[in-house]
Structure 1
């Protein structure tokens, strides 16, 4: 039976890749966790993912669910009732085929404000918002890294609506705290490309690149250089941002601070996965080809906007203020590769 005296944390988007790892670590640290789901039909699936993440059956009793959607006010007051903290992970995922950028921007911005209003009304101590590197380091063609938490993406530049949505949603959150917070505290975590162990069918678009490599769907890769971070370290940083007094009012980049090309990721997979990585590409695509293809292929549009960009980051602030110590990017990439191989094998057995 769940202990009622334990602090309560609401985690939004409880079935998501990052959210599940946050839930695992919160349960391990003796919190009661209430997770929002758009469909209550996924409760057993999320419990299975949490158990796969190493939580014992006794801890799973501290996990409960409530149905809530970012596009509706329904159930949010119930979701935050008696919660000590909120970790707001849920966000619209990148829609590669869209008619208007507001299809991503409006739900992200309104969803953040909906959660903050409910949290303030319920007397929540602090909200930790999962933002993104997309709110920090895109739209700056002349920038030379590393990016820090002082930087903001340029929404006037030619950036993908998903990145614009993350930027405008985070800015709206900070403005809400300044104007209407009334004592509600806020911290944000801004992850770079998130890799690491996959516990269920939901995973980040960074992981999808690894799957496409392993399945031989990519014969060559675009010339993109990015930083990466392990999902377990992203989860740990959220919890530090939730409880540490120094984190109030601060942004934190979640990054191993190692800038890798997509081709270098491919090399890591080939080095560690042997024969299982035989289809992983060994060549890069010319930038001109990717830009031309993006005119006709919506799936390449966000990738095309990142070509030639310096997206290196600093993780000094999280390490200095919070004592955060992330794994090397290589470890995270190998974990993604091994998880993807398990998923691919399972699909073949069906």
Structure 2
């Protein structure tokens, strides 16, 4: 079976991608920031046969040549799934702390693969709906042709645009690299919106933090929920499968995939939690106001089904499993 390099191995999305890869028989090497994180991965998969799972330490993904050694392997890698990207809770300098690391990390691994891993056939990068969304002038329907029009100056000047800029610029430089450098591999970009789902490795991704807040009762005394922000979502398990199918399906090469299950709002999430976990009802707002807009943007996720064959879980199923994974160590 093929061998895969998975970057950012302890991340929320990457941990689910790792599960899918191992279930499907791939040999996997995960990049991590420290030996401790690498050993955590091995310990969480101690039933995997020797040689099927390993890790390599990449302390700083934005450093020059950061992935040059990581992409070299015996036997060699067939595919690379690049999920590693900075997403700090806070930052001081948007260029130094967010924009440059995202861009340099993406170009760095592509350069490293071209120079040191000629066996690699395809690279899949985890981009984002942040590289698609246009808040100033949203289209009626978002799809893979949609691009965030944010400029570098806007991303530097407006802290609220810095993360979206980092994802947009990183994906764009990846496509430019393929066009200009003509490497021996092709590229796939995966663009998810809000990502919910069962937690792994006792980590808590940003989207799931709002689920934690709901079930801990932080909004129980008010009917006004925090703003939903992005009204699109996906279950992390479906997103993980989309990444793996992107290396398995020949026709996926050269494409972006807008991986979303559909519309959501914080009220719909709270209602789903109340339905699947009635024992938590007193911790939830009783009659929250829904901020889902009357004329919300539409979406076209058809390419995911047609090409990758991925079907999406319902919000109810996602919330049922997400909350069940959280209550064990949060409450």
TM-score scaled by length of structure 2: 0.87
Question: Which among 62, 78, 86 is matched to residue 71 of structure 1?
Answer: 62
State the Cα distance separating 1:211 from its structure 2 match. 0.4
Structure 2 vs 1, CA of residues 94 and 221 (structure 1 numbering), >3 Å: closer, same or farther?
Answer: farther
Residue 317 of structure 2: aligned partner: 331
Question: Equivalents in 2 of 1:90, 1:129: separation in Å?
Answer: 9
1:188, 1:250 within 8 Å by CA — same for their partners in 2? Answer: yes
Of 238, 245, 248, 1:240 maps to 245
Any idea what SS the aligned residue of 1:172 has? helix
* CA distance in structure 1 between the aligned counterparts of 2:294 and 2:106, rounded to whole angstroms: 31
Task: Write out aligned runs for 1:280-319 (5 A).
Answer: 280-282=284-286, 310=296, 312-319=298-305
1:61 Cα offset (Å) = 4.5
Contact 1:18 1:235 in 2 (8 A): yes
TM-superposed CA distance for 1:213, in Å, is 1.0
In structure 2, the CA distance between the partners of 1:138 and 1:176, relative to structure 1 (3 Å rule), is same
Contact 2:31/2:57 (CA < 8 Å) preserved in 1? Answer: yes
Q: Does 1:83 align with 2:77?
A: yes
- Asked whether 1:255 is paired with 2:260, we answer yes
Q: Which residue of 2 aligns with 1:186?
A: 187
1:33 and 2:28 aligned: yes
State which of 267, 273, 277 in structure 2 corresponds to 1:273: 277
Structure 1 residue 126 corresponds to structure 2 residue 122: yes
Q: Which deviates further from its counterpart, 114-123 or 60-69?
A: 60-69
**d(CA) in 1 for partners of 2:172, 2:272:** 36
Q: How far is the alpha carbon of 1:207 from its aligned partner?
A: 0.5
Q: Tell me if 1:217 matches 2:226.
A: no
What is the number of equivalent residue pairs in this alignment? 315
Residue 234 of structure 1: how far off its partner (Å):
0.7
Alignment of 1:151 with 2:141, yes or no, is no
1:198-223 deviation line (CA, Å, top 9, x unaligned): 11232321111100111122343234
On the 8 A contact 1:223/1:263 being kept in 2, the answer is no
Match of 1:160? 161
Matches of 2:320 and 2:290, distance apart in 1: 26
Deviations 1:69-110 (A, max 9, x none): 312246622211121110000110143343435521110011
Matched position secondary structure for 1:194: strand
Q: 1:85 to 1:272 in 2, by over 3 A?
A: same
Alpha-carbon contact 2:65-2:112 (below 8 Å) kept: no
Alpha-carbon separation, structure 2, partners of 1:9 and 1:47? 16
Contact 2:12 2:200 in 1 (8 A): yes
* Structure 1 stretches of 4+ moved >6 Å: 306-309
Question: Helix, strand or coil for the counterpart of 2:283?
Answer: coil
CA distance in 2, matches of 1:60, 1:18: 24
| Partner Cα distance (1:116, 1:323) in 2 | 27
SS at match of 2:232: strand
SS at match of 1:281: coil
1:295 matched residue in structure 2: none
